[in-house]
Amino acid sequence: MVADQPVQQNDPGFAVNGYFIRPPGKVSEITRVYEIKDIKLVTQITSSDAERKMLADAGYAEPAINYYIEKKYMGHIENADQVSEKVGSCGDIMKVYIKLNGSEIIEDVRYEITGCAGAISAAMAAVDLVKGKTIDEALKLNDGDVFTVLENIPEKKHHCIQLAVKTMHQGLNEYRQGA
Ligand code: FES
């Protein structure tokens, strides 16, 4: 395109990153490059803010939103001492990887989750609550402990906390049973 070329009345514009851009009264190639850069920047900022706002509007408190967005214990542990899996009543699946220091202290935990924001935030909070604890201490973890850390999640998501805690308990019990 030639710089400062007047835009034709019927200029159809063009699409970038799912946005349709109609050129202003006069356009040049430089103008268009800046337009594209600005739009990419705006898109990145708004998608994160929009996600936070959606979760807050749905009833997630800030600590729960942070756990969900950061997902700091998602994934797997290569040389885990125990790997266990549980399917929730909703059909969602959690897999827990537990690494012990010796035979009793919980060194690290990771979750792989096919599930909702409630499940992810609850599982991440559960890991913070058991890291460095003994197996016996971690087996005392309950839904209320996790809810306290999250501060709030929607009431219809409380069973997701249950799934995170039950999966953790199952992993610890199966480790003890040598399963
Ligand atoms: Fe299934 Fe949240 S809806 S774990």
Mean pLDDT of all residues in 47-76 = 94
Q: Which single residue is written with the structure tokens 């990153």? A: 17
The residue that leads in pLDDT, 150 or 46, is 150
| Structure confidence at residue 46 (pLDDT) | 55
Distance from the alpha carbon of residue 75 to the mean position of ligand 1, in angstroms = 18
Distance from the alpha carbon of residue 90 to the mean position of ligand 1, in angstroms = 6
| Structure confidence at residue 103 (pLDDT) | 87
Question: For residue 67, what are the CA distances in angstroms to 117, 125, 152, 169?
Answer: 9, 7, 12, 20
Closest CA to 96 of 106, 105, 85: 85
For residue 113, the ligand 1 atom closest to its alpha carbon is: 4
Q: What is the DSSP letter of 7?
A: P
Distance from the alpha carbon of residue 160 to the mean position of ligand 1, in angstroms = 5
**Ligand 1 neighbour 88 (Cβ under 6 A):** yes
pLDDT above 50: residue 118 = yes
> pTM of this prediction?
0.75
| Structure confidence at residue 22 (pLDDT) | 44
pLDDT above 90: residue 43 = no
Distance from the alpha carbon of residue 111 to the mean position of ligand 1, in angstroms = 14
Q: What is the C-alpha separation between 153 and 121, in angstroms, rounded? A: 9
**Ligand 1 neighbour 118 (Cβ under 6 A):** yes
What pLDDT digit, counting tens, does each position of 22-42 carry? 444 433 333 344 444 455 444
**Ligand 1 neighbour 171 (Cβ under 6 A):** no
- Beta strands (DSSP E) in 102-173 are 105-114
**End-to-end CA separation in angstroms for the chain:** 68
| Structure confidence at residue 48 (pLDDT) | 80
| Structure confidence at residue 76 (pLDDT) | 97
Pocket test for ligand 1, best of 67, 68, 87, 92 (most atoms within 8 A of CB): 92
Closest CA to 113 of 95, 87, 90: 95
The protein residue whose alpha carbon is closest to atom 4 in ligand 1 is 160
pLDDT above 60: residue 132 = yes
**Ligand 1 neighbour 123 (Cβ under 6 A):** no
**Ligand 1 neighbour 122 (Cβ under 6 A):** no
Mean pLDDT of all residues in 6-11 = 45
pLDDT above 60: residue 19 = no
